[in-house]
Amino acid sequence: MLGSGPEARRGATVEIAYDLSLNRGDTVQAAQRESFRLGDRRVIAGLEYGVEGMRVGGERHLRVGPHLAYREQGVPGRIPPNAVLEFRVKLISVSEPKSDDA
């Protein structure tokens, strides 16, 4: 679903709601909320790249390969090495950077 609100651009702070599962179907996280600034590399690259360009209210299904996620390390006890991740993401809000933050 496409959103109609402001667009998520590099430097903006976004808030998302998401569900995360492995591509084999195992749920890793459900009904999570996260806020981060695009470009700060505080989340995995595949999630950041997938959110950029979304509009508030929009939803995306992201399939993230291991090279843009946790690679061969995985996350012990949660995400196996070289896992392909599936995100269902909804963009809740976008806050543009202040002029002194840019």
Reading the block at residue 43, the tokens are 């989340």
Q: Residues in the chain with pLDDT < 50?
A: none
pLDDT recorded at residue 1: 84
Q: What is the pLDDT of residue 95?
A: 96
pLDDT at 101: 52
Taking the C-alpha atoms of residue 23 and residue 87, their distance in angstroms, rounded to an integer, is: 9
pLDDT tens column, 68-84: 999 999 999 999 999 99
Q: What is the pLDDT of residue 67?
A: 98
What pLDDT, on the 0 to 100 scale, is given for residue 99?
64
Residue 89's SS3 state is strand
Provide CB contacts within 8 A for 15, sequence distance 6+. Answer: 33, 34, 35, 91, 92, 93
Residue 43's pLDDT is 97
The pLDDT of residue 98: 72
| Whether the Cβ atoms of residue 31 and residue 16 lie closer than 8 Å to each other | no
Could you give the domains of the chain? 13-95 (3.10.50.40)
